[in-house]
Amino acid sequence: MNKNPIGIFDSGVGGLTVWKHVHQLLPNEKLIYLADSMHCPYGTKPAEEIIELSRANTRFLLNKGCKLIIVACNTATASAIDTLRSEFNIPFVGMEPAVKPAAVNTTTGKIGVLATKGTFEGRLFKETSQKYAKGVDTLIQVGEGLVELVENNEFESEKAHHLLSHYINPMIGAGVDQIVLGCTHYPFFIPLLKQIVPDSIQIIDPAPAIAVRVENILMELGLQSNSAEVNLEFYSTGDTKVIDSLVTKITGQSYPAKNIETS
């Protein structure tokens, strides 16, 4: 048994969509969440800057004694996870757009992927698409402005509905039957997406599969905890108002985030 915490970081509050599934699946694990809200969004930044920010986030979580780190950001995974794995002696679990299940399950032969520019430009998306979606028509759309709406707690707004419709309607018109959410911020839009997208189209959130991956790695390495003293900690490099609000909404309890600096 290993009572050390699992660390989770994202460019902001989006990774809470992953945090939620990890906490549900592994309720005996101590979790530390870091939102690098000061530098959000990552999706438009150059890879070198994302790598440096990811290093800083990793160092912070290692100083907290984390036994495994989840890079709960598709852009950071795309740009930095290879570097993190080569520089730090700890297991990392990253994100990648769930192109494989979409390609396997499509009956129309057309899938849509909504993600950030950084994710589409990364090695993981290109490799996964070539490997699993070669014979599938993949429509990609950069979700510009969506991360900011979540960070401002406006993911249920009229503005959000309008922007999502603008991005998603061409996919619907093209005949996709699977839409992949390729950014951890985007599952916050699922209630709105269900208003826009017909029931015949499946919306794919990769977060549940990430939680299962984490469980498997902990079991393989003998790192799981069965502690009843579960401890949940939240940190942000920026304003804590939105993360506090969303954590309370997800958990039904208050876990005030601490404002910190990473370096």
Residues 109, 197 within the same domain: yes
**DSSP helix/strand/coil, 235:** strand
Residues 136, 194 within the same domain: yes
Residue 228 in this model has a pLDDT that exceeds 80: no
Cβ proximity of 93 and 207 under 8 Å: no
> Which two three-digit tokens encode residue 124?
């993981």
Residues 193, 136 within the same domain: yes
Q: Domain for residue 200, yes or no?
A: yes
pLDDT at 226: 83
Selection from 85, 74, 78, 14 nearest residue 47 by Cα: 78
Q: Quick check: is 66 catalytic?
A: no
DSSP string of 161-185? HHHHHHHHHHHHHHT-SEEEEESTT
Q: Domain for residue 44, yes or no?
A: yes
**Buried/exposed 166-183: b ≥16 CB within 10 Å, e otherwise:** ebbeebbeeebbbbbbbb
Alpha helix locations (H) across the chain? 16-25, 47-63, 74-87, 99-105, 117-121, 123-132, 146-151, 158-174, 190-196, 207-221, 241-251
Exposed, middle or buried, 53 (CB in 10 Å: 0-12/13-18/19+)? buried
Cβ proximity of 45 and 244 under 8 Å: no
CA distance 136 to 138: 6
pLDDT tens, position by position, 147-203: 999 999 999 999 999 999 999 999 999 999 999 999 999 999 999 999 999 999 999
Residues 105, 201 within the same domain: yes
Domain of residue 173, residue span: 99-205
Query: Annotated catalytic residue: which of 66, 102, 113, 183?
Result: 183
Number of domains composing the chain: 2
Residues 139, 213 within the same domain: no
- Which pTM was predicted? 0.94
What's 129's domain CATH number? 3.40.50.1860
pLDDT tens, position by position, 10-22: 999 999 999 999 9
Q: Quick check: is 183 catalytic?
A: yes
CA distance 31 to 235: 11
CA distance 58 to 201: 37
Query: Annotated catalytic residue: which of 35, 68, 73, 103?
Result: 73
Residues 133, 195 within the same domain: yes
Selection from 55, 87, 73, 88 nearest residue 122 by Cα: 73
Cβ proximity of 203 and 179 under 8 Å: yes
Q: Confidence class of residue 230 from pLDDT cuts 50, 70 and 90? A: confident
Residues 56, 104 within the same domain: no
Q: Domain for residue 189, yes or no?
A: yes
**DSSP helix/strand/coil, 4:** coil
Report in angstroms the alpha-carbon separations of 115 from 20, 129, 146, 147, 184: 20, 14, 10, 10, 9
**Residue 112 C-alpha from the chain's centroid:** 18
Q: Domain for residue 53, yes or no?
A: yes
Considering the chain, what is the average pLDDT of its residues? 95
pLDDT tens, position by position, 233-260: 999 999 999 999 999 999 999 999 999 9
Q: Domain for residue 1, yes or no?
A: no
